[in-house]
Amino acid sequence: YINYQCLKIKMMFVTLLAKVFNHLPDKSFDHIDCCFSGLYEIPQKLRWRTKMKFIFTVYDLTPILFPQYFELSDPKKHFLYKAFTNIKKDWKVFCISKCTKKDFLNFRPDFPAENTFVSLLAASESFYKCNSENKFMQVREKYNLPESGEYILSLCTLEPRKNLVTLLLAFDEYVKRTGNEKVKL
């Protein structure tokens, strides 16, 4: 499961920051044309401003759509629920995939689809295909991997919703059926 202690500390910090933010004088924001939020709810103090443009990025609705995978008694108490329900209809919303856009519009059927856009996440060049035998050798040494072999890599959080048990069972079944014991997980 997600480290909820870390999440609680982050949320306490965000709550404290919002309280400080709300005590700033209104004129502090007069020169701001656009407000962007990459995750958290846009502060109430800014939402009423009619001349300011608002942009919100939606990464995932999993805690709201599948609360059973999170330690949530009520998904409406999750910070994302509050953030998503407070998005106004004239704001622009960027979703990281077509699926996320569909999920968001299903969650907020009142929100205009024409104000919702897909903006795919870009990967760093460090994730591009590597053809350097020297780098391969360094990684094999670092992780004590044999020089020859095939690898299946799963990079994710250790949560039940990631279905890693099925990955392990499928890997075991693959080795049994093919007899290929060179492949590493």
Whether residues 87 and 45 fall in one domain: yes
Whether residues 68 and 106 fall in one domain: yes
Q: Do 156 and 123 contact (CB within 8 A), yes or no?
A: no
- Tally the domains of the chain: 2
Residue 50: DSSP 8-state: S
User: What would the pLDDT profile of 125-161 be if each residue is shown by its tens digit?
Assistant: 877 888 888 988 898 899 888 777 777 777 777 777 7
Q: Do 51 and 30 contact (CB within 8 A), yes or no?
A: no
User: What would the pLDDT profile of 63-112 be if each residue is shown by its tens digit?
Assistant: 888 888 777 777 787 888 888 998 999 999 999 999 999 999 999 999 99
pLDDT of 165: 87
Average pLDDT, the chain: 84
Q: State residue 88 phi and psi, 5-degree precision.
A: -85, 155
What is the distance between the alpha carbons of residues 95 and 119, in angstroms, rounded to a whole number?
A: 6
Whether residues 76 and 92 fall in one domain: yes
Range of the domain at 112: 4-118
pTM for this predicted structure: 0.67
- Contacts with 78 (C-beta within 8 Å, 6 or more apart), sequence order: 63, 64, 67, 70, 72
Nearest to 87 by CA among 63, 57, 124: 57
Higher pLDDT pick, 84 / 31: 84
For residue 119, pLDDT over 90 is answered with yes
What is the distance between the alpha carbons of residues 107 and 132, in angstroms, rounded to a whole number?
A: 46
